[in-house]
Amino acid sequence: MTELWARVDELVDRAPGVPGLRAHGLHLLAARRWRSRGLPVPADLVQQQRTAEMVAMAAPMLLRRARAAYDGELMLMKGPEVAAHYRHPSDRGFHDLDLLADDAPAAQRALVAAGFAHFGRPAGYDHSQHLCPLIWPGIPLVIELHRRPNQPPWLPPVSARDVLEHSMPSATGVHGLLAPTPSAHALLVAAHSWCHQPLGRLADLLDVAVVLANGGRSDADDLARRWRWDGIWRVVIGVTDAILGHNASHASLSIWARHLGSTRERTVLEAHLARLAAPASAVPLRSAPSALAGVVRSTATRRDAEPWSDKLRRSRLAFAHAFKHCSDHQRHLSPLHRSNR
């Protein structure tokens, strides 16, 4: 672990600025490192550190309430379960608690009966992998009860039962709460990250590395083959080894994940390339056309009731901002999003 954290410190030090660190989810780690070296820490990072520490302290209390409310199996994924493997758990921020249940609707009803409240419209989550988020008054966290793990649609589906078969006691210390085994957890973290930003953030690679730091690598390889996730796993673990383990480079780092080695933000062009390259690099050749077609359809689809004029404007901006950082592009899109509300 010492070598791993030394490598993380190197990546923090080479970042071109705070925006890059935020984009990679390393800003809290950076704030602690700067303070330990007597360097100034921006005021907004100081506040975020304090918030992360408060959230980390509140999480076990909320998890105990959830565990007491439901008699079935509950498994904590990501969030504080991964944070427990960090040098300082509050350096791994999170804003929700992802719970996989053996019967998600029954668990949802039990938590609501125990005093949890819906945070949103339940009907809006009929087809989502998780039910409507739940909150407990006064605690700045939401609970998401999952019907199934989050994964890209082009991966072979894995059920809640498939995951619950690979469980162990949670590192949070909450009695009766489960966590995935290191091998299963590393795969779940990898798949979840590819739903949003395939090879997008260094923090996602770090999560995989810390979960497997005390063993489970060969078990993860075997489980990836059983779940038929071996394509995505080969890419994720290969890039993780290259970035965090000083091993040989990986082809993805020179093609569609070049931003990782320099701890900089991804450009708009790189983000679009990643959406196409991710399934192409992780599924069997015979499945690639179908996976790519799904990505193209998703890219071409309008958002909710968005007018076609706004969709075309977003597309034009994406072309015009091809070499801008994604955060800069999003700032230009924000006025357009507000106008649609």
What confidence score (pLDDT) does residue 246 get?
A: 65
pLDDT tens for 275-303 read 787 788 877 766 667 766 665 666 656 56
What value, to the nearest 5°, has the Cα angle with vertex 191 and ends 187 and 196?
150
Task: Report whether pLDDT(236) > 90.
Answer: yes
pLDDT tens for 129-184 read 999 999 999 898 999 999 999 999 889 999 999 999 999 999 999 999 999 999 99
Task: Report whether pLDDT(337) > 60.
Answer: no
What confidence score (pLDDT) does residue 276 get?
A: 80
CA 245 from centroid of its chain's CA atoms: 21
What confidence score (pLDDT) does residue 286 get?
A: 66
Task: Report whether pLDDT(109) > 70.
Answer: yes
Taking the C-alpha atoms of residue 34 and residue 18, their distance in angstroms, rounded to an integer, is 12
Find the DSSP H helices in 165-257. 182-196, 202-211, 217-227, 230-244, 251-255
Nearest alpha-carbon partner for 292 in 276, 316, 271, 315: 276
Taking the C-alpha atoms of residue 302 and residue 284, their distance in angstroms, rounded to an integer, is 29
What confidence score (pLDDT) does residue 1 get?
A: 82
| pTM: predicted TM-score of the whole model, two decimal places | 0.86
Q: Give percent above pLDDT 70 in the chain.
A: 82
Task: Report whether pLDDT(226) > 80.
Answer: yes
Half-sphere exposure of 142 (CA within 13 A, CB side): 13
Nearest alpha-carbon partner for 153 in 305, 270, 282: 282
What confidence score (pLDDT) does residue 17 get?
A: 92
Task: Report whether pLDDT(336) > 50.
Answer: no
Taking the C-alpha atoms of residue 226 and residue 220, their distance in angstroms, rounded to an integer, is 10
Please answer whether residues 225 and 204 qualify as being in contact, where contact means their C-beta atoms are separated by less than 8 angstroms.
no
3-state helix, strand, coil in the chain (%, to 5): 60, 10, 35
Element (H, E) at 285: none
What confidence score (pLDDT) does residue 127 get?
A: 84
